[in-house]
Chains A and B, each alone.
Chain A
Amino acid sequence: MNAVWTILRVTFLQQVRNKLWLAALLYAGIMAAASLLFGAVAADAELTVILDLGLAAAELLGLLVAAVGAATLVLEEMESKTAYLILTRPVPRASYVVGRFLGLLGAVLGAVALMGLVHVGILMLKGWEPSASYFACYPFMALKVTVVASMALFFSLFATSQASSVSFTAFFWLLGHFGPELEFLAVKSRSVASAVGVKAFLFVLPRLDLLTYRDLLEIPGVAAGPLLARGAAYAALYTGACLLLSATLFSRREF
């Protein structure tokens, strides 16, 4: 645990010093421009549009930073050989992987929180009244970022390049929102083999539709609490599996 914490701390600081906060700055710029634009074109729905766009932009930026960060997290250290001075010490390789991952995650979630503050500020300037369901979106966002980052880390350890690792992640991210539709296909499929194949694929695919609460805002009968509990359990399992696989792959790596 000591090794995990030590590596986490240095990774967190490294990410912050790598100007991760620029993502939050970019976000602030986008939202300021959007609030001006949509004030003019969105009529009565100005607040709705700014709210939706802000949540989506924060999530997208967070995911982008997490995915690219995770894809380079271990690879970069292997290529620059910074990892040598750690791996020649009594540090289990799994601790190294977990520490690096948690450090990155901490930094990214901090950036997302910063974006959230900017968003709330802009909304309140526009006369928005805070609602619990809005704030409930952020834990779901955090879970999604965690799942996607863990997936990106895993891909980085067997993909041939950082670019292919990010591409795989983007592909799985897209498909991850299609869970219910793929389930429907599996049910409707007449071929047992393809039904089994689709179900197996669904098992591997991250079920990001379970973690997209912001699309369920204001839909009647949708309560955040139970969804969050289910989402958190799923995210913990999926992330745990990705980290376990990553640690296993990394432990077999030679330098």
Chain B
Amino acid sequence: MPSAGGPPVPAYAVQDMAAVLSGARRVGSDVAFIQLLQYFGGGDANEAGGKGNAGPRSTWLPRFLPMSRRVAALNPGFHAAVLFAAGSLGFVLDRPDEALSLLEEGTAADPTFWQYRLYAGAVAYRKNQEPDKVIVFLWEALKYPDCPGLLQNILANLLKKRGDFRRAAEVYRHTIQTCRDPTSVDTARRQLDRLRKAGLAP
């Protein structure tokens, strides 16, 4: 478990302490993850780096990494959350170093979850702007149940950019069938529809 040099997000220290004190660490972690999702979805109106503002993506959501660390600190076994957070940092917020740092901490906490290394590989190639290699790693990651819907859609987008519409459609179908995130499923449905209408996929 990552040691506490202090609470990852001081604003939530009392909430996290309450979760620990009542023997509900995992529930505390789940709530922290939902708060992370809400932050990712809407940002914080009081924050300078709000999502969708004029600056580069790498300046958006400045607290995303500490909030992700908070989830992992409460529940080091919450792989899906770490993968989602790393994927968001690496592929959406253009902060691959933070993504790699998070995946490294995840690996240290749980060396048996080798998929962290797979995603680290994908992020590393993203950083080096080698999309073909990113595709290889994410395609491998797709086989495993914890692959976040966000990354599945990113993989499909990369495939479309390469002109590989057949495999992109395959990824969208996989997302629709297996993903629990309604937003990702919705996106996949719309994109698959478009591909079908354009005659680019069965």
User: What residues of chain A have their CB less than 8 Å away from a CB belonging to chain B?
Assistant: 38-49, 52-53, 56, 59-60, 174, 177-178, 208-209, 212, 214-215, 217-220
Contacts and interface: CB of A to CB of B under 8 A. Distances in A.
Contact of B110 (A174, A214, A220): A220
Interface string B64-76: 0000000000011
B26 A43 contact: no
B148 interface: yes
A41 B180 CA distance: 11
Contacts of B30: 42, 45, 48-49, 52-53
B183 interface: yes
A214 B29 CA distance: 13
Majority-rule SS of B interface residues: helix
A42 B34 contact: yes
Contact of B81 (A39, A45, A209, A215): A45
Given A43-B84, A43-B184, A45-B30, A178 B21 contact: yes
A190 to B, nearest CB: 22
Contacts of B183: 43
B53 interface: no
Contacts of A208: 23
A44 B149 contact: yes
Contact of A218 (B38, B77, B182): B77
B23 A177 contact: yes
A59 B80 CA distance: 25
Given A48-B78, A53-B27, A217-B77, A43 B181 contact: yes
A66 to B, nearest CB: 15
A39 B27 contact: no
Nearest to A52: B26
Given A53-B30, A220-B111, A44 B148 contact: yes
A174 B21 contact: yes
Interface in B97-127: 110-113
A60 B18 CA distance: 14
A49 B29 CA distance: 9
